[in-house]
Amino acid sequence: MHAVVLVGGFGTRLRPLTLATPKPLLPIANLPLLERLMASLARGGVTNAVLSLGFKPEPFLRAFPSNSCAGVKLTYAVEDRPLDTAGAIGFAARHAGIHKRGETFLVANGDVLTDLDVSGLVAFHKSTKAQATIHLTPVEDSSQYGVVETDSQGRVLRFVEKPSPGQTTSRNVNGGTYIFESSALDRMPGVAPMSIERETFPEIVKEGQLFGFATNDYWIDAGRPDSYVRANIDLLQRKSIHKVEAICSDSQIAKSATITQSVVGRGCKVGENAQILGSVLLEGATIDDNAIVINSAVMGHIGSFAQVNDCLIGVDGEVRSGAVLRDAKVPDAS
Ligand code: GDD
Ligand code: MG
């Protein structure tokens, strides 16, 4: 099966990390998110994927020099301006010749990690003869997602992207993995910006051709500061089913440092008595003596006796000695 994987967004919410590395290439427990996503698509029968790119295509080309990722053969469709989700799908699918093959294909948001069995989603899609099927997942606060209401058979009755309070009571949201018949591409010409969530899905709903398939599998959108850190820490608990190197062997960690429920990337340095808790140190991060890092992701440098809590520190980020930061982005990337 062919897949379109959407990786062309700006990753705004994860700045400043994404100023250095596009969101899908950020590591989750020391393996690029995209590699974990591709491995799960491959298990479900995906053999070929077109990466739908816009912002910063070069790092992707460099990351997969053999044009293969987790055994999936890659091609690249680079937009010359952001086409939004449906525009991007239409453009990339044509680029990869999917429209001509007339086959069922898959689309995935490039920032989702899930244990969904993709072959089960495909089987459900075929059983309903729908034009499109969305994977649904339950969440506590649905306001940041596309909320989906279905009937008891799974037919979608309503799709509301990022609803305002009171607009819907459903807790099932769009999980960002879709199965489409190629006929759906007629709705997505791929020549101008168009949103799958705000335009295409509501249109297919009107024709009764959109279904939802809800599962309780592990699922997270790693595209926000808290969820990016959480996706990393969650994997430490899910070691039995996923390849995880929590602490890279070439990192230098002082004997008196404590690393608790955290991930340490290649070449990181952690000084004497430093404490790292529920955090992600990305490749090359340096944490000086006696610094404390809690619930944060760090690419740059934390000075001695500094304390950072719920922070994102970019590759050029410098937290000076003794500073106390909470909910901050360094450098400020807003
Ligand atoms: N090629 C391309 N071009 N890709 C894009 C563009 C574009 O113009 N805009 C966004 N993308 C990609 C992003 O890189 C990301 O992989 C995916 O489309 C979704 O964009 P996000 O910015 O991550 O959207 P979201 O998380 O706010 O909401 C989406 O995902 C939720 C589930 O995680 C929506 O699909 C929601 O309905 C859904 O619930
Ligand atoms: Mg997202």
Question: In the prediction, which pLDDT does 271 show?
Answer: 98
- Mean pLDDT across the stretch 220-232? 97
Q: Report whether pLDDT(239) > 80.
A: no
Which atom of ligand 1 is nearest the CA belonging to 92? 1
Q: Which ligand has its closest atom nearest to the C-alpha of 148?
A: 1
- Mean pLDDT across the stretch 210-230? 97
Question: In the prediction, which pLDDT does 288 show?
Answer: 98
86 in any annotated domain: yes
Write the pLDDT tens digit of every residue in 21-68.
999 999 999 999 999 999 999 999 999 999 999 867 899 999 999 999
Residues near 148 by Cβ (< 8 Å), separated by ≥ 6?
134, 136, 156, 158, 159, 170, 172, 173, 174, 212
Asked if residue 150 and residue 70 are part of one domain, the reply reads: yes
Query: In this structure, what CATH number is given to the domain that contains residue 282?
Result: 2.160.10.10
Write the pLDDT tens digit of every residue in 94-139.
999 999 988 999 999 999 999 999 999 999 999 999 999 999 999 9
Asked if residue 98 and residue 10 are part of one domain, the reply reads: yes
247 in any annotated domain: no
Query: In this structure, what CATH number is given to the domain that contains residue 27?
Result: 3.90.550.10
Which atom of ligand 1 is nearest the CA belonging to 224? 26
Which residue has better confidence, 168 or 172?
172
Q: Which ligand has its closest atom nearest to the C-alpha of 34?
A: 1
Asked if residue 84 and residue 208 are part of one domain, the reply reads: yes
243 in any annotated domain: no
Asked if residue 128 and residue 274 are part of one domain, the reply reads: no
Which atom of ligand 1 is nearest the CA belonging to 174? 39
Write the pLDDT tens digit of every residue in 299-323.
999 999 999 999 999 999 999 999 9
Question: In the prediction, which pLDDT does 126 show?
Answer: 97
Catalytic residue among 23, 56, 100, 162: 162
pTM confidence score? 0.96
Q: How many domains does the chain have?
A: 2
Share of the chain above pLDDT 90, in %: 91
The sheet carrying 258-260 orders its strands as 258-260, 275-277, 292-294, 307-309, 324-326
Cα gap 151→160, rounded to integer Å: 15
Asked if residue 219 and residue 77 are part of one domain, the reply reads: yes
162 noted as active-site residue = yes
CB atoms within 10 A of CB 313: 28
Asked if residue 90 and residue 29 are part of one domain, the reply reads: yes
Asked if residue 168 and residue 66 are part of one domain, the reply reads: yes
Among 183, 209, 237, where does a domain finish?
237
Write the pLDDT tens digit of every residue in 66-81.
999 999 999 999 999 9
Asked if residue 166 and residue 32 are part of one domain, the reply reads: yes
Asked if residue 199 and residue 142 are part of one domain, the reply reads: yes
Asked if residue 60 and residue 186 are part of one domain, the reply reads: yes
270 in any annotated domain: yes
Residue of the CA atom closest to atom 8 of ligand 1: 84
Asked if residue 213 and residue 266 are part of one domain, the reply reads: no
Q: Report whether pLDDT(244) > 90.
A: no
Residue of the CA atom closest to atom 14 of ligand 1: 9
Asked if residue 321 and residue 182 are part of one domain, the reply reads: no
How far, in Å, from the CA of 190 to the mean position of ligand 1? 16
Banded pLDDT at 334 (limits 50, 70, 90) = low
82 in any annotated domain: yes
Instruction: Report how far apart, in Å, the C-alpha atoms of 333 and of each of 15, 113, 144, 260 are.
Output: 6, 25, 21, 28
242 in any annotated domain: no
245 in any annotated domain: no
What domain range includes position 301? 252-330
246 in any annotated domain: no
